[in-house]
Structure 1
Amino acid sequence: MTTIAELRARFSPILETVAAGTLDREQERSLPVDAVRALAEAGFGTVRIPVEQGGLGATIPQLTALLIDLAAADSNLPQIWRGHIAFVEDILVTPHTEFRERWLEKILGGAVIGNAWSEIGSVERGAFGTSITVEGEAAEVTGRKFYTTGSIFADYSDTLVQAADGSQHIAVVPLDQPAVTISDDWDGFGQQLTGTGTIIYDGARLESRDVIPFEDRFGYQTAVYQLVLVAVHAGIAAAVEADAVAAVAARTRTYSHGNADRVRQDPQILQVVGEISAVSHAAAALADQVAQAVQAAHDATAARSEDARSAVIETEIASARAQVITSRLVPEAATRLFDALGASAVRRSTALDRHWRNARTVASHNPWVYKAKEIGDWEVNGTPPGFQWGIGTVTSSAQESAGQVADRSAEASGERASEPSEAQPVGV
C-alpha cells in the first residue's frame, strides 16, 4: 500500500525546484510550463490510479496532503492540475468501461488533461454556447470557453458541450490541432500563472468515443473541485507561516517602541506568528476532513452503494464548511504577515503580497456566503445542497430547466453532479 512518505519522497525534489523558482515566475509572469511537465513525467497525473492498474495508488487524503505541499511551493500548480484530478476521479468510477480503459492508458502514458467548462457573456444559466456535432466515429466542437485553468499546459481538455437537441455532454478535445486556440488572457490579480484564459474551438475534431453524457459524470465532482481549492488555501497558509517564521527569526532591526531588543523575542510579534501558525494548521486539518468525506463518497460510488447519495451530500457540506472558514482566515493570515514585519516587507522584490492576492482569488471562485446559506439550510431544514452550479442570465425557460436538472440530479441518487461555477481558475 502506498504511503504518504513514499509519495513525498517521490515528488519532494520537484517541489524544491518549484519553490526555488516561484518568486521569479511571479515577478516575470512566467507560466510554470516546466514545472507542470516535470510533475507529469514523475507520475503526478497518475497519483489516484490504483497500483494494480499502473498508477501510484494514493487515497484522496494522501493526494490532498501532496496538493498542500505543492501549493506551499507554488499555489498556481494545484489549481492547474484541478481539471486533471477531477477527470481521473471520474474515469475511476465511470460506468463507461471502454472510455475508462482508453483514458487510463492515455493518462498512464503521461497525458495531461485541462478544463474547459465555463463561459462568460450573456449565455443563459444552465445552457452553453459551445456546441458539438457527431457523425459516425467523428465529432466536432465549436465555441468559446473561459476560466480554462490548466488547458494551456495540457494535451486534452475536458470540455462541457451542448448538442442541437439541448443535451449536454463531456467531450475530451485534443488541443494540438489548428482548430484550437488557447490564450493566456486571464487578468486576475491573483493566481496569475494558472493559465486560466480563453479557448476557442473552431470545428475542433475528436473521436465520438471520447464523448459521454454529462449526466453520467461522477456525483461528488463539485466537492473534488472544491477540495483542491481548500488544499490551495492550506498551502498558501503554510507558505505564509514559513515566510513569517523565517523573516521574524532573521530580523536584526527593531523599533524603539517595541517590546524587546530582538524581534524574535518581542511577545506581540510572536503572537502574530502564533496566530498565522494556528490558521495554517487549521486549514490543513480542514482539508484533510474534506478529503476523508470525499474518499467516503468515492468508495460508496465505486461500490454502487445505496449510501452514495448521502455520502455525496456530506462531501458538499464538508467542503462548504471548510471554504467558509478558509476563505476568511487565510487571506487574513496573509495580511497579518505584514504586521510581523517592517516596511521592507512590502517591497516588490519580496512579492509577499502574492499570498494575499492568491488567497483572495481562490476565495472568490465560488462565493462562500452562498455556501454558508446552504449549510444553514441543511442544518435547519434538511435541504440538500445544490449539485448544479452555474452562472449566467436567467429567463423563465432557464428557471424551468434548472428545476428539471435538480429533479434529475435527485433521482440519480448522487451518482452524477454538476458544473463547477464560472469562477474556475477553478479552473480547473
Structure 2
Amino acid sequence: MTTYQNLNQFNVQSSKPAHIIQNDAEALEIVQQLAHQFKNHAIQRDAERILPFEEVEAFSQSGLWAITVPKEYGGTDVSTQTLTQIIALISGVDGSLGQIPQNHFYALEVLRNNGSKDQKQKIYAEVLAGARLGNALAEFKTKAAHIRQTIIKKSEQGYIVNGEKFYCTGSIFAHRIPTLVKDENNREFLAFIPRHSEGLSIKNDWTGFGQKTTGSGTVKFENVHVDEDDVIPFDIAFSQPTLVGPFAQVIHAAIETGIARAAFEETLERIRLARPWIDSGVESSTQDPLTLFELGRIITDVRATEVLLKQAARSIEAAKPLPNAENIAKASIDVAKVRALSTEVALKASSKLIELAGSRGSQRVDGLDRFWRNARTHTLHDAARWKYYFIGNYSLNGIIPPRRGTL
C-alpha cells in the first residue's frame, strides 16, 4: 500500500480510459469484487489516516463512477436501487470510501437537470473516461450554513472565482471540483473547475474523528479562471420540481445503511468469540438470552432501514419520467423516512457491536470503533429530528417539504 504525504505526488490523471459498465447486473458484480479488495487495509487506513488514492483510482477505473450517466450520452444509467446497493456495500467495508463518490453523483444529477446539451456531452464524456468530480459546496466561516460567500464574476475570457470552501469531500482525488458560487445578483451556479487550475489550492486539513480518509478539507480559490461552458445554473434545481434533493439524500441514507449492516455482521462474528456473562448460566455467548434479545432488535432495525431504502429508491425511479410537485414530495418524504431511521440504526448497531463484543471489543487493533465513529460523523450532515418534523407535517397537514439537498 502506497502512501502520499504530499498531495502533488499523486497524479489524478488516469493512464487509461475507465471500463464502461453495460448494465445493472454487471455493476453489482463488479462492486462485490471491489468490496472484497477494499476490505484489505481498511482498519489501517482508518487508524493511520492513509488517504485511499489507489482504492479511489480502482473504484473509478472499474466504471462504477459513471453508472448514472444517461444512456443517450453513452452511460448505463443504472436504477437508483442499484446505486444505493453499491454505495451501501462499499460503505460497509470502508465508510470513507463509500462517501467519496457521493458528491460526484450529486454533481452529475445537477448536470442532468440544469446543464445544456453541450455541457452534458463534455462532462459525461470525461466521466465515462474515468474523470472524478469532487465538491466545494459548504463554507466554514459564515454565520449560517446556507450562506455562501464564494463569488463568481464575469471576465473577458469567461469567469473568475474567489472564495474558500470546507467539507470538500473527494476533492483531493478529483479531476474537477464542482464549486457552488454566487454572482452579483445572488444567483447560485455550479462551476466545474479543473483540479489543477491556477489559483486553486487544496488543504488536507480534515480532522474529524470519523470518515477520516474522505479528503474533506479546505479548497481555496484565488482569482481562478473558469471557462464559460463549465458553469451551469444551480438554484433552479430547487426552485423547480427536480429529483436533485432526494437523489442526494438517498445516497447519504445508503452510506449509513451500509455501515449499519456491516456493524451487525461484525457483531455476529464477535459474539461467537465473546465469553458469556456470568449470570447467564450458559457456556457460550451464542446462547446468552439477553445477547440474543439485543441481536434480534438490531437485525430488525437494520432490515427495516434496508426496506425503507429500497422504497425510497423506487419512489425516485417512479418520479423520473415526469417529475412534478406531488411525486417529488413523495420521493422526498420516503427518503426522509430512511434517513431518519438510518441515522439512528447506524449509531445503534455500531454501538451495540462494541457492547456485545465485550471488553475485547475495545482493542484498537480490531478497529471496531471505526463503525461508530464513521456513523456518528456522517450522520451530522443533517438533523434527523427535522426529518421527523417534515414527515409528520406532510402526513397530518399535507405540507409539502422544502426542496433542498438537506431534507
Q: Specify if TM > 0.5.
A: yes
Q: Cα distance, 1:51 vs. partner?
A: 4.8
Counterpart in 2 of 1:97? 117
- Which among 134, 139, 143 is matched to residue 159 of structure 2? 139
Q: Cα distance, 1:10 vs. partner?
A: 1.8
Between Structure 1 and Structure 2, how many residues are aligned? 384
What's the C-alpha RMSD, in Å, of the aligned pairs? 2.1
Is contact 1:149–1:197 with CA below 8 Å preserved after alignment?
A: yes
Distance in 2 separating the partners of 1:104 and 1:142: 26
SS at match of 2:134: strand
Distance in 2 separating the partners of 1:317 and 1:209: 35
Distance in 2 separating the partners of 1:272 and 1:20: 29
Counterpart in 2 of 1:151? 171
Q: CA-to-partner distance for each residue in 1:270-324, whole Å, 9 max, x for gaps?
A: 22222222222222212111111222233224xxxxxx22121112211111122
Counterpart in 2 of 1:55? 75
Counterpart in 2 of 1:415? none
Is contact 2:176–2:195 with CA below 8 Å preserved after alignment?
A: yes
SS at match of 1:31: coil
SS at match of 2:211: coil
* 2:31 is the alignment partner of 1:11: yes
* 2:370 is the alignment partner of 1:333: no
Distance in 2 separating the partners of 1:41 and 1:151: 17
Is contact 2:276–2:288 with CA below 8 Å preserved after alignment?
A: no
Instruction: Please give the TM-score of this superposition, normalised by the length of structure 1.
Output: 0.84
Decide whether aligned partners of structure 1 residues 123 and 171 sit closer, same or farther in structure 2, where only a CA change above 3 A counts: farther
- Which among 248, 252, 261 is matched to residue 238 of structure 1? 261
Counterpart in 1 of 2:183? 163
Matches within 5 A, 1:268-347: 268-301=290-323, 308-347=324-363
SS at match of 1:271: helix
Distance in 2 separating the partners of 1:351 and 1:126: 35
Decide whether aligned partners of structure 1 residues 125 and 64 sit closer, same or farther in structure 2, where only a CA change above 3 A counts: closer
Distance in 1 separating the partners of 2:159 and 2:49: 36
Distance in 2 separating the partners of 1:155 and 1:64: 24
Is contact 1:136–1:208 with CA below 8 Å preserved after alignment?
A: no
Distance in 1 separating the partners of 2:289 and 2:306: 26
Q: CA-to-partner distance for each residue in 1:202-240, whole Å, 9 max, x for gaps?
A: 112221111122234372222122111110111011111
Is contact 1:279–1:330 with CA below 8 Å preserved after alignment?
A: no
- Which among 244, 249, 253 is matched to residue 226 of structure 1? 249
Is contact 2:177–2:192 with CA below 8 Å preserved after alignment?
A: yes
SS at match of 1:310: helix
Amino acid at match of 1:227: V
Q: Cα distance, 1:127 vs. partner?
A: 4.0
Distance in 2 separating the partners of 1:366 and 1:256: 41
SS at match of 2:201: strand
Instruction: Please give the TM-score of this superposition, normalised by the length of structure 2.
Output: 0.88
Query: % of aligned pairs identical?
Result: 27
- Which among 378, 382, 392 is matched to residue 366 of structure 1? 382
Counterpart in 2 of 1:375? 391
SS at match of 1:196: coil
Distance in 2 separating the partners of 1:169 and 1:3: 32
- Which among 144, 168, 192 is matched to residue 212 of structure 2? 192
* 2:87 is the alignment partner of 1:64: no
90-99 or 368-377: which moved more? 90-99
Decide whether aligned partners of structure 1 residues 386 and 359 sit closer, same or farther in structure 2, where only a CA change above 3 A counts: same
233-242 or 172-181: which moved more? 172-181
Q: Any stretches of 5+ residues in structure 2 without a counterpart? A: 1-20
Distance in 2 separating the partners of 1:384 and 1:124: 24
15-24 or 54-63: which moved more? 54-63
Distance in 2 separating the partners of 1:29 and 1:124: 30
Distance in 2 separating the partners of 1:292 and 1:195: 31
Distance in 2 separating the partners of 1:215 and 1:348: 45
Distance in 2 separating the partners of 1:121 and 1:112: 27
SS at match of 2:180: strand
SS at match of 1:115: coil
Counterpart in 2 of 1:401? none
Counterpart in 2 of 1:408? none
Is contact 1:45–1:112 with CA below 8 Å preserved after alignment?
A: yes
* 2:136 is the alignment partner of 1:116: yes
Q: Any stretches of 5+ residues in structure 1 without a counterpart? A: 302-307, 388-417, 422-428
Amino acid at match of 1:382: G
Decide whether aligned partners of structure 1 residues 156 and 234 sit closer, same or farther in structure 2, where only a CA change above 3 A counts: same
Greater relative contact order (Cα 8 A, min sep 6): structure 1 or 2? 1
Amino acid at match of 1:56: T
Is contact 2:354–2:369 with CA below 8 Å preserved after alignment?
A: no
Q: Cα distance, 1:2 vs. partner?
A: 6.1
Counterpart in 2 of 1:394? none
SS at match of 1:77: helix
Is contact 1:140–1:204 with CA below 8 Å preserved after alignment?
A: yes
Is contact 1:123–1:129 with CA below 8 Å preserved after alignment?
A: no
